[in-house]
Amino acid sequence: MDSYITIHRYYGLKFVSSQGVIRICQLPPEFTYHGRWSVRRIPQGKDISHVEFFEQHGVYALATSAPEDFFLVDEDGQPKELPDGILIRIISNLDPLEFLPKARTGMLELIHPVTMKTVDT
């Protein structure tokens, strides 16, 4: 198997079938051919750290993470009040909630291999 580009076939590939016949085809425009693999990028809107296909269930499992606002909570899980700090008094015209840190939240998602939609989290 090898990739090639001509005037008539962009992102084409050629291979020899099991019968010894040379086949020439073209990938759909959303695919690219890199390092002996055809690749299709699908934006998920999250950082994906790992992908695994589970053949017995017919789904992809993705380990993803996304930034979320970080809030301090007390022992009961209720948001804590922000302490009156010197910095907040000096910059009194700014909303202190605007500068809260972000924390990454991880998630395991199951993706359907044909539609590439999330079927379970």
> What is the residue extent of each domain of the chain?
1-41, 42-121
Contact 46, 91 (CB under 8 A): no
* More confident: 114 or 10: 114
| Mean pLDDT within 59-84 | 79
Mean pLDDT calculated for residue range 90-102: 62
Mean pLDDT, the chain, integer: 77
Amino acid at 75: E
What pLDDT, on a 0 to 100 scale, did the predictor assign at position 92? 55
Mean pLDDT calculated for residue range 35-46: 77
pLDDT at 86: 42
Long-range contacts of 8-15 (CB under 8 A, 24+ apart): 13/38
Q: What would the mean pLDDT of 83-96 be, rounded to a whole number?
A: 52
Contact in structure between 26 and 14 (CB atoms under 8 Å)? no
User: What's the confidence (pLDDT) of residue 104?
Assistant: 87
